[in-house]
Structure 1
């Protein structure tokens, strides 16, 4: 045991970047590990309480709000990580503070515009997605959940600030409390049979908490890190406005395409089938999504480390880091996938309420696991390109893959239902992730040739 401990200690000392990544991920991972259990149980309770149709109705309301919000979002967390690090390295702290101030302004304006658009579009969009319920019921549910957009006024920027200032422990605590809060309300709703509106409110309360808390913490952190007058910094001092504009537009477009093609599944199924099918697919997604929860912290903590390596031109360290985090992701993803393949049908048959017949979600769940497992293992594919400022490449890859998937959706889903949608999503994940991995390594190879390492790895 002592030899193993000694070897591990030596390994971490010899790999300081990976060691820092593990330390930061550890805060987030401990929170996510608990969240896996809570999310799994709350999805079972919600599905067992509501049944397929009501679960589908809530899913449509949440998906509608999420889609509108993401269409208006410029992914300012990625913007902060990319340009704060770059500005601080090249021009000093004053320029880095200007990056944060501009990010808060842009995100706040777009959030307000998204909320106004949502309120106006909800009555028009609702009839497109419901068949079992009155469209007049879905519209106010969408507008109610839309409050979460205002509660996330500049949350992406706030999370970016917490990451670049290494406040991962704070983010982990917020994530854990969010999971406990949502879980507690849904559990009470299940015990007292409170119905679908309380379940929707549970998700809304959680969304408000996960939005407001990072903003409050960032506002507390920034005066300590950047000085009390950080907000007085003039945005006009930024010298790379065009590069920043290209970055935010590219990330917005790629994020929008990603949202429409692989994160709005409920809306596509509601459009072509019905609310019960949406509910079944939601259950399949909930089980498959358990794979991604422990990996999400790695995405958040790996991006800053990848960016530091790219900006400082430490190519050997970058390659080494990518290998290490890939192996780490595989250590969770492969066993977890096998477990869900073996026991998934039993979970759907006996853990979920049998009377609602969720067993038919097994086949789409298995299909989804293939795509989720692949993109889980190579979770860094997009972050690598963004760290080089190549936001246009993910945009192009996701655009081609997204347009192809959406075109096939029009043909496949009406015929093959939720199994067809699951197959399209998995294929999309594997195709786009694979292409971005190949391009990412090509960029590293080219950079190694044009810009040799500044210092030894």
Structure 2
């Protein structure tokens, strides 16, 4: 437990630095581009991240899961790199299709389509889940945090340069692209210093040969990761498609500030997953403790959003973004719910129930996307935020029910084992 809290401390420290830097580049981007311009920027970033998220496999989980054995992470790393290469190929085709058809469903002017495709390619080439997995496998969270700090620093510096020399959507997108490439390079360099990366092990066959359940786990975690992307990036794209660039821009700012807790939930999940893989028998107790701690943090964060949210929005983004205050509060509540459910979801995945976690997440997410059009017509950004909240609440309830079922299985199985031993 002490190591887990120390690792979470490293990750939260990185998030804190990221939060400070994000206020810098968010303020510069919103105030320079205005509501409509920032909407175009938000749509391009969401499209690039959506393409990458949909094509990307959660390879860090594979490295942690199959690299923890006596044979080491060599084959697991080779399998992960092979999947990353497959992601780039699939993602490039997907990006070409989405950008080519963008004007049919997104409010993007034609002059921004080339930079949109470039950003998609950069995002794909910057996939970095494999080196992240190597560092988490060895519990090198401090080194990972230091490497990841490159991204917000480059973004903030790039945003300042864009503000001074290229105060356009293209200028800020170039700053974001530079930060993606730089942080990916930093993580690979740090990971390679910690663990020898044998390129001869790159293969899509070795791990599945030794672990028959491998492809099922790969598909389940990929689909779960895709759903997480759908819950955020695809949501922004659909908000822009249904409500226009101004609504997309405002919703992006409210989401980034209000759902900072979702990033915190992801931080907790990333820290606890390796511990749960190693803990095994104590995993259930550990997940429950983390959920209780998260509940307290979530309540405090929602109170901050409620009393300081409007002031924060107008201070960072400007007065024209103040109308998205209630969307920010609702998204903060959704983030608090996700924070509580983070350890429960990690527990399911670490126990080999990634397919269960996917199904629990899939139904509420798809329901939210289906209802989004009606929600926006009903109450604009607040309606869209309520679909996010509903999706998060239903998913976490599902994770809790699944955890109770696991506990019941444990209660009914353990006595049998005890009687066998007797």
TM-score clears 0.5:
yes
8 Å CA contact 1:288, 1:368 repeated in 2 = yes
Question: Is structure 2 residue 344 aligned with structure 1 residue 381?
Answer: yes
Q: Aligned equivalents of 1:101 and 1:347: distance in 2?
A: 45
Question: What residue number does 1:7 align with?
Answer: none
Matched, 1:119 2:96: yes
Distance 2:303 2:13 in 1: 22
From 178, 187, 191, give the equivalent of 1:218. Answer: 191
Separation of aligned partners in 2, 1:323 and 1:214:
31
Matched, 1:138 2:101: no
Distance 2:250 2:180 in 1: 23
The alpha-carbon distance between structure 1 residues 306 and 448, as it changes in their structure 2 partners (threshold 3 A), is farther
1:332–1:35: structure 2 CA closer, same or farther, 3 Å change rule?
farther
Q: Does 1:308 pair with 2:283? A: no
Is 1:60 the counterpart of 2:43 in the alignment? Answer: yes
Larger mean CA deviation between 393-402 and 53-62 belongs to 393-402
The SS at the match of 1:347 is: helix
1:335 aligns with 2:305: no
Distance in 2 of aligned mates of 1:257 and 1:169: 28
Flag the 1:93–1:341 CA change in 2: closer, same or farther, 3 A.
same
Written as runs of structure 1 = structure 2, the 5 A alignment for 1:19-418 is: 19-85=2-68, 88=69, 92-93=70-71, 96-130=73-107, 134=109, 136-153=110-127, 155-190=128-163, 194-223=167-196, 231-232=200-201, 235-236=205-206, 239-310=209-280, 314=281, 317-354=282-319, 357-418=320-381
Please report how far the alpha carbon of residue 191 of structure 1 lies from its aligned counterpart in structure 2 after TM superposition.
5.1
Q: Deviations over 1:288-338 (max 9, x none)?
A: 13334445432221111112122xxx2xx3343224323443443322221
Describe the shift of the 1:141–1:303 C-alpha distance in structure 2 as closer, same or farther (beyond 3 A): same
**Contact 2:82–2:202 (CA<8 Å) still a contact in 1?**
no
8 Å contact kept, 1:151–1:212: no
CA distance in 1 between counterparts of 2:334 and 2:207 reads: 44
**Secondary structure, aligned partner of 2:67:** helix
Rg comparison, structure with higher value: 1
Shift of 1:445: 3.3
- Contact kept? 1:43, 1:286, Cα under 8 Å: no
Residue 246 of structure 1, CA deviation:
0.5
35-44 vs 298-307, which moves further: 35-44
In structure 1, the gaps of 5 or more residues are 1-17
- Tell me how far apart the structure 2 counterparts of residues 34 and 303 of structure 1 sit (CA, whole Å): 23
CA gap 1:406/1:305 in 2 versus in 1, 3 angstroms: same
Q: For residues 204-233 of structure 1, what are the alpha-carbon distances to aligned partners after superposition, in whole Å with 9 as ceiling and x for unaligned? A: 11111222222232233222xxxx758458
CA contact (8 A) 1:103 1:157 kept: yes
For 2:343 and 2:301, the matched residues in 1 are separated by 19
Distance 1:271 1:194 in 2: 25
- SS of 1:378 mapped into structure 2: helix
SS in 2 for 1:242: coil
Deviations 1:131-168, CA, capped at 9 Å, x for gaps: xx52x123212212123234325x21221111102221
Aligned-partner Cα distance in 1 for 2:389–2:112: 29
Deviation at 1:448, TM superposition (A): 4.5
Normalised by the length of structure 1, the TM-score is 0.84
Deviates more, 1:34-43 or 1:421-430: 34-43
Cα distance 1:148–1:237, how it changes in 2: closer, same or farther (>3 A)?
Answer: closer
Unaligned runs of 5+ in 2: none
Q: Is the 8 A contact 1:97 1:230 kept in 2?
A: no
Task: Report the counterpart of residue 5 of structure 1 in structure 2.
Answer: none
Please give the alpha-carbon distance, in whole angstroms, between the structure 2 residues aligned to 1:262 and 1:38. Answer: 21
Query: Matched residues in 1 for 2:371 and 2:262: separation?
Result: 25
Instruction: Measure the CA separation in 1 of the matches of 2:298 and 2:148.
Output: 21
Structure 2: how far apart are the matches of 1:81 and 1:159? 10
Structure 2 partner of 1:13: none
How far apart, CA to CA, are the structure 2 residues paired with 1:236 and 1:413?
A: 48
TM-score (normalizing by structure 2): 0.91
